[in-house]
Chains A and B, each alone.
Chain A
């Protein structure tokens, strides 16, 4: 009761104080002062003053002045005004207290850009369509899984971006297969974007400056994949001042250093991430887990050199490594091995030279190399296995930016890439009972020239048009099977083999890829955009698993495997409100792809030298509508999005009677999830701490439901008559994170922050898949959930500036 009185009394006084303030003769102390606009210095009339989170009824007068009488004591005072960020202060009132407050206009505040569909103003002004920019600063605000800031997971909160399920490898963007998306880090491609079989992204977040996701209007400088481009840029090291930052989490430790060598000219950035859970298995795990080894690391470096104002040179590298040793998790089929180790990773290098000829013209020359290697081995048995594969990518590009006048912005250039692939070498030079198998190496060259121009006809209409011509050659040395004409390629229909010499062209493909985007302004804050792309893909991933294994085979086009070709159409409507505080967008798209691949029933992809005998070609289509509302500024920011998206395949093959899947009918892909709803909310009351919530909902993905049961050898087995004819339960999840920046609140060079995260707050057991097991009474259906309970994590980050 006393407590209640203590709480109520101040308000009685407060009310009394505010109502009779003119005739005040009391000895109570007061808080008084002025409230001004921080930018203009103008007084703010009508700003509300709240005391201890309750409205006081007091507001500022025309001169921005206020005064409140309060009993002695401790208070939290908030000054708020519509359209301005509120101001809060905690103080102990002993005597009259002057408080002058400057409020920031939300509309003039810098955006807390987490995501921008190509940035608010830019979005409205440029014709770019379906382009999303994410800043790492923004991504870091999203709740994370196990405290790991994760690019791939963050992207999945955006409309049009999904995956087959939690823990799946890769992304499905607007109905694309994972291999149809080009992922670049500083212009070097990434072939496997995740660590730990899909749990974490390979990108060390500290080293990333920003990422651009091209879901729709793809500039002509990009090519080689049929759906989208994720262009990740590493930070450019500071040439002025030494900086260091890092973090300690339950999964990994991170460190980044920016080291100026010659002031304003030469500096180096080194960023590393190392997983730490591995040694714990050895120390504390029960016996059956002691043998597990699971660790990963990434190292990114960049040397930045600016000899003069006209030239910059940067050399970047990106190394990622995964290592696992598991007891009979995945071994090679038909080999007896008790314990298998896996090793895989990227080694990427790029050198860029930018030269500025004039204000109108500049050139970027770059050379890039990526090596992606995988190794599967079991050295400790009589049946030694040592299976290796690699992809070597080498590229040289030249790109010019030319801006003859304010109406035209042009980009043109050329690029040439060579691929060398070892699809699989088993036990080369190894003594073992297990055979030596060598799948022939593949060599290919992909060259392209391109040009595009952004032409601003007037304030209302802008068009960006471009053309890319890509040519592809599969070159020798190599051998192709020749099959009996008009018979499905199979082991029995091989009639001869054709051998090609080193460098000889074995097959070639080429074609034009027109690209177009248009912007039409319907008003100052409203635009409509239209886009069309054609893309070609000469290089695809062969995997019939729900999600590809890191060791899955990549295959270049040849006379049996035709390049994929896609046509993509999209239409968007964009509107901003309240001086860009709110942004709404509505985008629709339709995508049509030819020559996509699937696999015959019971396909054998492991070390298969005649892989064409296992493939079925077909086509894909995807369409959707994406709606998004964003609040980009203010104490509370975030977005809400709804997506309706469909993705289908039709696999008929050249020999439909034996190859067609689902009798040649259109079938929903594994990632066809019609309804998706995402919400992200960031609340930042002060610069010292912020809260974030993300909520995700989507329709369950398709699975194959049996039509009945039959018996073989007295055991029961399901009858699957049709593929993907039913859906798993819907998915939904809420995550929360609380970030405390600089808890000491002192300004110092070392600044720490803590991030507390709860992933899957209400612990929903979201299904990843449905499968069937045989029991005595029949078959039983089961659900697999990957992250079935809430996961709490705490991460410590630091900055040394």
Chain B
């Protein structure tokens, strides 16, 4: 049979078997119910920087609305010895922080108490902090995912795998997160002919938009922060006490040739937290197949309403210990010759003060946020 005919038949089959299925966004999705619930996300850890409790009221719309901060609540945790640690609302509304220097202790048991301004009480179940094992080994592999186009950033990248030793006792649960810091020199971009107003710190558009794009340099060190989009959890139920090898924990895009800074976190979480994250994974990460499990939210997982037993509470009391590794991925190594990085080029011009002007400002500040920082990341050697 001629090859072209075989190809034709093959493509019919492929089109048939693999590409029949398609996924389309629903542009005009209408919610039939809109309800808000109290949400408590409490992180108690042996890393001081990670201890925080966020209390919000969930958004009753799935898009273009954010959860509202619940402020002025009384929040504290108590350990097995009855030692109380009060969390106070910080500068970010609805976010409650412990006294400086507070760290959770591995082996300790904690319980959360919340009283809202309206007088409603909430208590968590007791959760024990379990030691997280060290990340013993990190392996990076350049992998191409052929199902994506050449111009798709998901196509080529580096998969990051870790090895570690699970503890001999049963019932260990793990979670991985990563943070990437990318040093940037441009802190703001104004498009449509807009210009930066250095007093009000916003782009000001002209009356008539143009195609001009103007970029503004940072006034000091600035890093852009990106984190994992997906939740990644694992249970030792089938591998208790073993050395766990090759667990994929990150996927790094091939968008440059410079070393890629990665701060990996390996957390030991509780069974309740594992079940909670598993349910989130089922809802948004592994959904969209023929075999989905029912989409269900696990209300009041380990935080229970004390004033009104019928109230449904969202969120999790997450007690965990953490081990970190700072790792640089060499993006010049082990990349096949035919693969090139998808580098983002800067559009437009960079604003500079006209020569000879006095007291001219041409740099903008690096504003601290979840996505940007001027604090040098831990272990930064580049």
Contacts and interface: CB of A to CB of B under 8 A. Distances in A.
Contact of A720 (B24, B235, B247, B283): B283
Contacts of B26: 770, 780-783
B294 interface: yes
A708 B236 CA distance: 33
A782 B227 contact: no
Interface stretch (B31-39, B191-199, B209-217, B326-334): B31-39
B10 interface: yes
Contact of B16 (A250, A435, A601, A722): A250
A780 B235 CA distance: 29
A769 B24 CA distance: 11
Contacts of B248: 336
Contacts of B116: none
B345 interface: no
A711 B280 CA distance: 11
A778 interface: yes
A718 B295 contact: yes
Given A782-B24, A784-B288, A705 B63 contact: no
A653 interface: no
Interface string B54-97: 10101111111111000000000000000000000000000000
A11 interface: no
A720 B32 CA distance: 11
B239 interface: yes
Interface string B151-176: 00000000000000000000000000
Given A336-B247, A781-B26, A771 B288 contact: yes
B147 A288 contact: yes
A713 interface: yes
A198 interface: yes
A709 B62 contact: yes
A788 B279 contact: no
A738 B315 CA distance: 58
Interface residues of A, number: 86
A720 B37 contact: no
A335 B238 contact: yes
B143 to A, nearest CB: 10
B284 A198 contact: no
B62 A778 contact: yes
B366 to A, nearest CB: 20
Contact of B13 (A167, A250, A782, A789): A250
A722 B59 CA distance: 16
B323 to A, nearest CB: 18
Given A602-B296, A718-B62, A784-B23, A769 B288 contact: yes
Contacts of B21: 784-788
Nearest to B12: A250
A503 B56 CA distance: 58
Interface string B230-272: 0100111111101111111000000000000000000000000
Contacts of B292: 545-546, 769, 771
Contact of A781 (B25, B245, B279, B370): B25
A708 B279 contact: no
A559 to B, nearest CB: 26
B178 to A, nearest CB: 12
Given A335-B239, A382-B245, A704 B35 contact: no
A709 B59 contact: yes
A426 B290 CA distance: 25
A715 interface: yes
B7 interface: yes
Given A710-B39, A719-B35, A435 B238 contact: yes
Interface string A504-528: 0000000000000000000000000
Given A330-B291, A710-B39, A786-B290, A705 B24 contact: no
Given A250-B9, A544-B294, A722 B288 contact: no
A294 B13 CA distance: 12
Among B147, B247, B278, B283, find the residue whose CB has the most chain A CB atoms closer than 10 A.
B283
B298 interface: yes
Contacts of B25: 780-783
A765 B370 contact: no
Interface string B195-208: 00000000000000
B242 A721 contact: no
Interface in A713-750: 713-715, 717-723, 725-726
B239 A288 contact: no
B316 interface: yes
A245 to B, nearest CB: 23
A787 B20 CA distance: 5
Contacts of A770: 26
A725 B32 contact: yes
A277 interface: yes
B358 interface: no
Contacts of A777: 63-64
A8 interface: no
B17 interface: yes
A320 B45 CA distance: 53
Interface string A401-415: 000000000000000
B375 interface: no
A788 B17 CA distance: 11
B275 interface: yes
Interface string A165-201: 1011000000000000000000000000000011000
Contacts of B361: none
A773 interface: yes
Contacts of A771: 284, 287-288, 292, 295
Nearest to A199: B17
Contacts of B275: 602
B235 A334 contact: yes
A91 to B, nearest CB: 39
Given A705-B31, A710-B315, A545 B13 contact: no
B380 interface: no
Given A435-B240, A546-B292, A721 B297 contact: yes
B239 A334 contact: yes
A480 B247 CA distance: 36
Contacts of A709: 58-59, 61-63, 65, 67
B64 A778 contact: yes
Nearest to A724: B294
B146 interface: yes
B6 interface: yes
Contact of B293 (A286, A544, A782): A544
A608 B139 CA distance: 33
B62 to A, nearest CB: 4
Interface string B330-372: 0000000000000000000000000000000000000000100
A720 B245 contact: no
Interface string B113-149: 0000000000000000000000000000000111100
A289 interface: yes
A707 interface: yes
A779 interface: yes
A105 to B, nearest CB: 44
B244 A720 contact: no
A132 B245 CA distance: 56
A769 B31 CA distance: 16
A382 B229 CA distance: 28
A725 B24 contact: no
Nearest to A603: B293
Interface in A102-135: none
B247 A334 contact: no
Given A546-B292, A602-B298, 13 more contacts: A250-B9, A283-B10, A287-B146, A289-B18, A426-B238, A435-B240, A717-B297, A719-B37, A720-B295, A771-B288, A780-B26, A785-B21, A787-B21
List the 7 shortest-distance A-B pairs measured between CB atoms, nearest first: A778-B63, A288-B146, A710-B58, A771-B287, A781-B29, A779-B62, A545-B291
13 contacts: A146-B16, A250-B12, A280-B9, A280-B13, A336-B247, A705-B32, A707-B60, A710-B58, A710-B59, A719-B314, A771-B292, A781-B26, A786-B21
